[in-house]
Amino acid sequence: MKTEKLKMREKVAYGLGDLGNGLMFQFAQLFLLKFYTDVLQIPAYWGGLIFLIAKFFDAFVDTSVGAFVDSRQHISKRGKFRPYILYGSLFLGIATVACFVTPNFGETGRIIYAFVSYNIMGFCYSVVNIPYGSLAAAMTMDSGDRTSLSAARDLTGQMAALLTGAVVIPLVAIFATPKIGYIATVAAFAAAGVVSQILCYAGTKERIIDHKPRQKGDGLKSIKGLLTNRPFIILSVFTIISVGSMFLKMGIQLYYFQYVLGQVGIVSVVSLLSALSIIPAVIFATPLVKKIGKKNVAIYATLGFIAAELVNFFITGSHVIPYLIVNTISYMFLGFSGTVAFAFVNDVIEYGQLQTGIRSEGIIYSGYSFVRKIAQGVAGFIPGLALTMTGYVANQPQSASTISGISAVYFLVPAIASAISCVVFYFGYDLTDEKHAEIVKKLEQREADRKRSEHLDIIDGNSIVDPFDPEVSNSNMVNH
């Protein structure tokens, strides 16, 4: 179970996997609804309903994929997780392109096609992404390297979001019609995504694999272990609130830009600055983790985010330039907490392995993915509810109370929610880096004891002797 330090090229290869995921996933997230309404010509409410249903469907698919991956009895030389990236990426690419096909159906047929194609894409994404996320735990147990892997996927994920946001619309506009433009552009993005994932498969190596044969009931035991895994539960609460806060801001920001700042066009500037803000986390997260530990990095980063949101709410938020500066700082702090989040998940895997005796990367990572998607779904619902409660009227000048309400939802609510998450995490999460190191040592000793027991021989019918014991070699074994 001991592993060597990861080289930079392997960390880069791992990051390419999330670049590939992002080129396809972000394309669909950013442009599929507009494609539905403008090109496929289905009503907007049906497009929104498709996304809502698919999000909850994906959450349950994630857990099923995780359980299936963990139940594998025979692990090939390609590893436990990497084959899903290799073979699943092609199907994900095809499914992504299929979402942007315009079939010659009636309106009902087009709605059904959109619903089926998007859910197939979501299924294929889970088949690739759950093993990809689980892969980091099989590559290394080193806390610093795990943080570096999380930073690599954060950086490439932001690159994918920035690239899709910046070039898709101009590329679509090159072609004669949006119908042709979307299908040609998504095909290019999907091809690039598949290549990136294949490079991830080729450039990474699984070093930590549990070869112990699976027993009947191990899957159920793993799920029960997940539900009683204290660090996982606390991490889930922290994630629901923190991820929910981030998506809440994303859902309300256009309204804030339009009605408070009067600058709808700054969305592209904010997107660019948000993508660039992840760079400090990529550079400094690993050294900070080594110095003060992942838990402290997460807490201090969350406190920094809270402070920046309060500054924008009370002081700078109504002025464009000061807002942009403080908002970029806010997202920089989010970058640090987001970077260490996936490293926490990998630590939780070893905690669960020590408690249950079963290494369940797939189930634990899919459980974490389930939590994130539920948080995204809930956060996507809150802006609409909040706008209704504040008296928002579409395409009309807003009242002072509505503008105040939009500002509160954009800044104050995420700050308060993050403060709650910070308190919960500080007092509830006890799986520090030091404790994780102790768990790793116990697992290594358990593995050494297991291998030692496999070499025990029965001598004289009832005496169990270890042939590797020097005293045995020089006495009993010689006499026999």
pLDDT digit string, tens, across residues 19-76: 999 999 888 877 787 788 788 888 767 876 787 788 778 878 887 888 788 777 677 7
pLDDT-based confidence at residue 454 (cuts at 50, 70, 90): low
Tokens for 39? 């090109």
Domain end, chosen from 209, 241, 267, is at 209
Structural domain including 462 reads 451-479
> Is 90 exceeded by the pLDDT of residue 181?
yes
Could you tell me what percent of the chain has a pLDDT over 70?
87
459 pLDDT above the threshold of 50: no
pLDDT score at 470: 44
Given 160, 191, 209, the domain boundary residue is 209
281 lies in the same domain as 414: yes
What per-residue confidence (pLDDT) applies to 474? 42
Residue 112's CATH number: 1.20.1250.20
239 and 202 together in one domain: no
Q: Does residue 439 fall inside a structural domain?
A: no
Of 66-75, 266-275, 353-362, 401-410, minimum mean pLDDT range: 66-75
- Cβ atoms within 10 Å of 459's Cβ, excluding its own: 15
- Amino acid at residue number 133: G
Instruction: State whether 18 and 152 are in the same domain.
Output: yes
Q: What are phi and psi of 464, to 5 degrees?
A: -95, 120
Condensed to tens digits (0 to 9), the pLDDT of residues 145-170 reads 888 888 888 888 878 877 887 788 88
Of residues 151 and 428, which shows the higher confidence score? 428
Nearest Cα to Cα of residue 25 among 136, 154, 138, 118: 118
80: pLDDT strictly greater than 50: yes
Q: Please check whether residues 5 and 87 belong to one and the same domain.
A: yes
Percent of residues, the chain, with pLDDT higher than 90: 31
Q: Are 336 and 195 in contact (CB under 8 A)?
A: no
pTM: 0.70
How far is residue 465's CA from residue 443's CA, in Å, rounded to a whole number?
24
- Please give the backbone phi and psi of residue 178, each rounded to the nearest 5 degrees, phi first: -60, -35
Residue with tokens 């002072």: 400
Residues 359 and 392 both lie in one domain: yes
Range from 26-30, 99-103, 361-365 that averages highest in pLDDT = 99-103
Tell me how many degrees the CA angle 157-92-15 measures, rounded to the nearest 5.
25
> Same domain, yes or no, for 317 and 427?
yes
Question: In the prediction, which pLDDT does 468 show?
Answer: 42
Q: With 90 as the cut, is the pLDDT of residue 323 above it? A: yes
pLDDT at 429 over 70: yes
99 and 122 in a common domain: yes
Segment among 38-42, 229-233, 242-246, 308-312 with least mean pLDDT? 242-246
Residue 88: CB partners within 8 Å, gap ≥ 6? 124, 127, 128, 131
**Rg from Cα positions in the chain:** 25
480 band by pLDDT with thresholds 50, 70 and 90? very low
Q: What is the mean pLDDT of the chain?
A: 83
Same domain, 424 and 456: no
Predicted pLDDT at 63 = 78
Q: Return the closest-CA partner of residue 168 out of 148, 182, 180, 147.
A: 182
Q: Which of 44-53, 131-140, 181-190, 311-320 has the lowest mean pLDDT?
A: 44-53
Is residue 444 in a domain? Answer: no
Dihedral angle at the C-alpha atoms of 54, 242, 28, 381, nearest 10 degrees? 50
Q: What is the pLDDT of residue 269?
A: 83
Q: Are residues 227 and 192 in the same domain?
A: no
Residue 153 in tokens: 């996927």
459 and 403 within one domain = no
Say if 442 falls within a structural domain: no
Residue 437 located in a structural domain: no
Give the span between the Cα atoms of 135 and 480, in whole angstroms: 48
Tell whether the model's pLDDT for residue 286 goes beyond 80: yes
User: Residue 380: its pLDDT value, please?
Assistant: 62
Q: Does any domain span residue 31?
A: yes
3-state secondary structure the chain: CCCCCCCHHHHHHHHHHHHHHHHHHHHHHHHHHHHHHHCCCCCHHHHHHHHHHHHHHHHHHHHHHHHHHHCCCCCECCECCHHHHHHHHHHHHHHHHHCCCCCCCCHHHHHHHHHHHHHHHHHHHHHHHHHHHHHHHHHCCCHHHHHHHHHHHHHHHHHHHHHHHHHHHHHHHHCCCHHHHHHHHHHHHHHHHHHHHHHHHHHCCCCCCCCCCCCCCHHHHHHHHHHCCHHHHHHHHHHHHHHHHHHHHHHHHHHHHHHHHCCHHHHHHHHHHHHHCCHHHHHHHHHHHHHHCHHHHHHHHHHHHHHHHHHHHHHHCCCHHHHHHHHHHHHHHHHHHHHHHHHHHHHHHHHHHHHHCCCCHHHHHHHHHHHHHHHHHHHHHHHHHHHHHCCCCCCCCCCHHHHHHHHHHHHHHHHHHHHHHHHHHHHHCCCCHHHHHHHHHHHHHHHHHHHHHHCCEEECCCEEECCCCHHHHHCHHHHC
Q: If you average pLDDT over residues 188-195, what whole number do you get?
A: 96
pLDDT at 328: 94
Per-residue tokens: 47? 């497009």
* 438 lies in some domain: no
Q: Indicate if 460 and 425 belong to the same structural domain.
A: no
In this predicted model, what pLDDT tens digit does every residue of 201-226 receive, in sequence order? Answer: 999 998 877 656 555 556 666 677 77
Residue 44 lies in a domain: yes
443 lies in some domain: no
Alpha-carbon distances of 262 from 231, 258, 383, rounded to whole Å: 44, 5, 19
Q: Over range 118-142, report the average pLDDT.
A: 89
At 467 the pLDDT is: 43
Domain final position from 209, 239, 258: 209
Does residue 460 register a pLDDT over 50? Answer: no
Q: So what's the pLDDT on residue 479?
A: 38
User: Do 268 and 384 lie in a common domain?
Assistant: yes
**Residue 378 buriedness (CB in 10 A; 0-12 / 13-18 / 19+):** middle
pLDDT at 218: 60
> How many domains does one find in the chain?
3
